[in-house]
Structure 1
């Protein structure tokens, strides 16, 4: 039986001057443990073995959320009908590595509370995703990882301080996933030099990684950031994904 939570998969069109690529984004929401348990049949045999080593419920839930979202995104891009055939391993820096019948496709995974999201993309076009809860309890931790220039930049944004800090953090974590460093590197290295405000999203530019940008948008009381190459025009139906978060606020 399929999980009864909410799940939405959409296409991402990635247009560049020399080529056009396709990716996919999955966002899902599961709340009850019964819904999480229904994800287990979709796991690869080795993923089930790893799940059995997890003793804490929170860790089991986040693993299941991330794997299910990643499998749905990968299936949409590879046309794989059986999610259990998609195997997502962990690299030495805990980065997800996708094994499927269609080569050169990779995924980036994020989970926060009862939400999971993932993007699948061609290996030739690196990307990363992060979702973070806007929470004033995280203010001190987020402020400790920003520079003086970033403090000045966010003062002019038409959003609250906590939203701005979460925006910076999420953009940096999405970039760290592209670079496969995770939390092993100071986030100040991923400094955001400029933030453009658009009608329904923000664009963050990086001081030390000018070849990338982050497209970020608010989804209820969360921030979602997707990092992609600077010269890529990314087309995504953000409103549909915002609906999942809005329905469960």
Structure 2
């Protein structure tokens, strides 16, 4: 799924999926929308980049979750939502101190964040990447032989970058579905693209 820069909510009634993409410019200046525990986690982060990613990811996830549940999605209404971590590292959404009746998957990159929300019985995975050149070492280390061939077969540098990043993003999303993230080898899952060029 993809969205334009800025706030881009989309609801899929047939599947019960909601996704939201937001940019850093949409973050509120204050942290009143974070829970006390989230503010404590934030205070423990040493690097501004990590703090910014945390805030943007949580804000996007809370707004997406609020939209999915039919709640107010303005910053003042979001302090009742908390995005914690399950023991396996997956996001664990809560509402009013209780597990929220939805599953979520989150990703952020380059001052953008995206969150996918669905029914709790669904295993979800989403990833957000820039289309940028990937080194030969990256392709060899993280992509299977078939995926490497797909990248090599792409015509031109831009198309190879697109293919490599599309495959990488799909792998990251698949590993989130499996609830392992990058603790599991990226070579253990294989992405198959259709016969046409990546779009």
Q: TM-score by structure 1 length? A: 0.67
Deviant stretches of 4+, over 6 Å: none
* SS of residue matched to 1:160: helix
Alpha-carbon distance in 2 for matches of 1:112, 1:139: 22
Shift of 1:155: 4.0
The structure 2 residue matched to 1:136, chosen from 115, 124, 133, is 133
CA contact (8 A) 2:103 2:124 kept: no
1:16-165 paired onto structure 2 within 5 Å: 20-31=14-25, 36=27, 38=29, 40-81=31-72, 82-100=77-95, 103-136=100-133, 140-157=137-154, 160-165=159-164
Alpha-carbon distance in 1 for matches of 2:24, 2:64: 16
TM-aligned CA distance change 1:162 to 1:45, over 3 Å = same
CA contact (8 A) 1:142 1:169 kept: no
Instruction: Provide structure 1 residue ranges, at least 5 long, that are not aligned to the other structure.
Output: 14-19, 203-216, 218-249
Residue in 1 aligned with 2:12? 12
Shift of 1:119: 0.8
Shift of 1:167: 0.8
Instruction: Provide structure 2 residue ranges, at least 5 long, that are not aligned to the other structure.
Output: none
The alignment's C-alpha RMSD in Å is 2.4
Q: TM-score by structure 2 length? A: 0.83
* SS of residue matched to 1:80: coil
CA contact (8 A) 1:9 1:72 kept: no
* SS of residue matched to 2:63: helix
Residue in 2 aligned with 1:234? none
Q: Which structure shows the higher strand fraction? A: 1
Shift of 1:21: 2.7
Q: Which structure shows the higher helix fraction? A: 2
Shift of 1:142: 3.7
